């Protein structure tokens, strides 16, 4: 009998001849007649896919040998969810639990690409999961694990290029800002009001550009991973105070009021928190009349730190409030649509605050104004 060798397989000519008639065989939708559990595991393993199961009642985690290997666990060692979470880099337990809870609540499929540290090497894993029910009760969550490091590294290279370009834009912009502010001081000292006014307008444009660059950089990060949090310990009340003084300097006609507890210490990514506050403050200026005061508060309430920005603008209807923090969401009414924007600031603010295990919120009444706030865990 002639043996034909194909990659990884050996077929007899009889088998190959049989294959030519295979087109006439009926596919069966009954998987149990076609695939055994071992077949399915082999198919997945050959494609570099592992599987996992989490019992939502006993909290027992089961990983197949491929998933164990991808997560860097030795075969046969019992693994708990906490041990699995410890492998994650830049992603905290609260996020993983949030995804699990959301999937159970919404009956939805969960999918996350996460960074893991296995034997001091960073890898990217795509983890999917579905909740499986019995008599209407959520019983297990099961899904797949696959190594996507190669494609992720390609995305990261693209993101690094974006970061580089943003940095190259940001640096000269800071210098331009300094010159503009100097020119404004000189114009004020020389009582040249018209030049001082024009310099103020130019300064305002540099703030808008810098804020846009920051938002687009965070967006490009988000397309690759979750927001990267580079946390340090700092006094948030000082940051709020400085930023509000800067805004008051930029908008001398506007009245900013500030209420602070001092100090209010948090462990967070300072630049990102400044980005959120800048989004809230520029929105308050953009979407409220020139004679309306803007109140900013920063308080420690129990274990939480609460920051709020209140304006006396047109306010937002209840239906629109629910959508505001979604990507590209803008309210289409005559009071707000005249102001330019992309509908990204609030979406990115939510992503940033949630990656710190905090929450964003809005309270608003049509015709009265709005309060945009966020909470962060205090120290
Ligand atoms: P952008 O301002 O660039 O459109 P944002 O994500 O910052 O994007 O805001 C989304 C939308 O939310 C805005 O387009 C506006 O309709 C509404 N909005 C935000 N802040 C306020 C505010 N303080 N008062 C009224 N509407 C606001």
Measured in whole angstroms, the distance separating CA 276 from the mean position of its chain's CA atoms is 13
Q: DSSP assignment, residue 324? A: T
**Ligand 1 atom nearest residue 344's Cα:** 6
Identify the pLDDT of residue 222: 79
Identify the pLDDT of residue 113: 82
DSSP β-bridge partners for residue 295: 257, 310
- Span 310-341, pLDDT tens digits: 999 989 999 999 999 998 888 887 666 677 77
Mean pLDDT along residues 59-73: 89
- Span 219-230, pLDDT tens digits: 877 776 777 788
pLDDT at residue 182 greater than cutoff 70: yes
User: And the tokens for 48?
Assistant: 């570099």
- Please check whether residue 315 is in contact with residue 335, taking contact to mean a CB–CB distance below 8 angstroms: no
Residue closest via CA to ligand 1's atom 8 equals 343
| Whole-Å CA distances, 343 to 332, 346, 361, 365 | 11, 7, 16, 20
pLDDT at residue 268 greater than cutoff 90: yes
pLDDT at residue 309 greater than cutoff 90: yes
- Span 234-266, pLDDT tens digits: 999 999 999 999 899 888 889 999 999 989 999
Identify the pLDDT of residue 3: 37
Residue 10 confidence class, pLDDT cut points 50, 70, 90: very low
Mean pLDDT along residues 153-167: 82
pLDDT at residue 274 greater than cutoff 60: yes
DSSP β-bridge partners for residue 62: 53
pLDDT at residue 157 greater than cutoff 90: no
Q: Please tell me the distance between residue 365's alpha carbon and the centre of ligand 1 in angstroms.
A: 14
- Span 206-218, pLDDT tens digits: 988 888 888 888 8
Identify the pLDDT of residue 374: 98
Residue closest via CA to ligand 1's atom 7 equals 345
Task: Kindly report which listed range (8-17, 29-38, 40-49, 193-202) carries the lowest average pLDDT score.
Answer: 8-17
Identify the pLDDT of residue 42: 84
The structure's pTM equals 0.66
Residue closest via CA to ligand 1's atom 13 equals 330
User: And the tokens for 303?
Assistant: 């274990």
CB within 6 Å of ligand 1 — which residues?
279, 283-284, 287, 311, 313, 316, 324, 329-331, 336, 341-347, 370
Task: Kindly report which listed range (93-107, 183-197, 232-246, 358-372) carries the lowest average pLDDT score.
Answer: 93-107
Q: Mean pLDDT, the chain, as a whole number? A: 84
User: And the tokens for 241?
Assistant: 């105070």
Task: Kindly report which listed range (12-26, 36-50, 246-260, 357-371) carries the lowest average pLDDT score.
Answer: 12-26
pLDDT at residue 7 greater than cutoff 70: no
Residue closest via CA to ligand 1's atom 19 equals 283
Percent of the chain predicted with pLDDT > 70 = 88
Residue 304 or residue 76, greater confidence: 304
User: And the tokens for 364?
Assistant: 């608003």
User: And the tokens for 29?
Assistant: 């939708």
Q: Please tell me the distance between residue 208's alpha carbon and the centre of ligand 1 in angstroms.
A: 14
Percent of the chain predicted with pLDDT > 90 = 42
pLDDT at residue 19 greater than cutoff 60: no
**Ligand 1 atom nearest residue 331's Cα:** 16
Backbone angles phi, psi at 125, to 5 degrees: -120, 140
- Please check whether residue 327 is in contact with residue 301, taking contact to mean a CB–CB distance below 8 angstroms: no
| Whole-Å CA distances, 254 to 36, 182, 295, 309, 336 | 71, 21, 11, 14, 18
User: And the tokens for 24?
Assistant: 């006439």
Identify the pLDDT of residue 27: 52
| Whole-Å CA distances, 47 to 2, 109, 145, 230, 269 | 30, 21, 11, 35, 38
Cα separation, 95 vs 114, whole angstroms: 11
- Mutate which of 321, 341, 369, 372 for ligand 1? The one with the most ligand atoms within 8 Å of its CB, which is 341
């Amino acid at each position: 009998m002639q043996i034909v060798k194909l990659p990884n397989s050996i077929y007899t000519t009889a088998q190959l001849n049989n294959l030519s008639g295979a087109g006439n065989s009926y596919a069966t939708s009954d998987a149990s007649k076609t695939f055994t559990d071992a077949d399915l595991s082999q198919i997945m393993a050959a494609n570099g896919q592992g599987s996992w199961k989490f019992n939502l009642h006993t909290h027992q985690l089961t990983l197949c040998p491929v998933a164990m290997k991808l997560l860097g666990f030795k075969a046969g060692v019992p693994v708990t969810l906490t041990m699995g979470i410890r492998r994650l880099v830049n992603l905290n337990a609260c996020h993983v639990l949030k995804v699990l809870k959301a999937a159970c609540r919404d009956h939805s499929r969960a999918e996350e690409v996460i960074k893991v540290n296995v034997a001091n090497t960073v890898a990217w894993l795509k983890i999917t999961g579905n909740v499986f029910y019995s008599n209407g009760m959520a019983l297990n969550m099961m899904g797949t694990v696959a190594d996507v490091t190669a494609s992720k590294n390609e995305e990261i290279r693209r993101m690094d290029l974006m970061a580089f370009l943003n940095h190259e834009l940001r640096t000269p912009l800071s210098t331009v800002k300094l010159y503009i502010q100097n020119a404004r001081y000189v114009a004020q000292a020389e009582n040249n009001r018209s030049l001082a006014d024009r310099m103020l307008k130019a300064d305002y444009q540099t703030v808008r550009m810098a804020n846009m660059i920051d938002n687009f950089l965070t967006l490009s990060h988000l397309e690759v991973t979750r927001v990267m949090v580079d946390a340090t310990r700092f006094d948030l009340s000082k940051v709020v105070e400085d930023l509000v003084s800067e805004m008051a300097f930029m908008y001398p006609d506007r009245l900013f009021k500030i209420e602070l507890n001092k100090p209010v210490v948090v462990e967070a990514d300072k630049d990102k928190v400044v980005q959120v506050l800048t989004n809230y403050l520029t929105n308050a200026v953009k979407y409220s009349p020139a004679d309306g005061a803007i109140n900013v508060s920063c308080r420690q309430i129990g274990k939480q730190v609460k920051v709020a920005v209140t304006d006396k603008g047109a306010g937002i209807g209840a239906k629109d409030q629910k959508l505001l923090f979604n990507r590209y969401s803008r309210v289409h009414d005559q009071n707000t649509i005249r102001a330019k924007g992309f509908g990204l600031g609030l979406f990115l603010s939510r992503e940033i605050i949630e990656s710190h295990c905090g929450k964003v919120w809005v309270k608003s009444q049509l015709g009265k104004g709005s309060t945009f706030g966020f909470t962060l865990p205090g120290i």
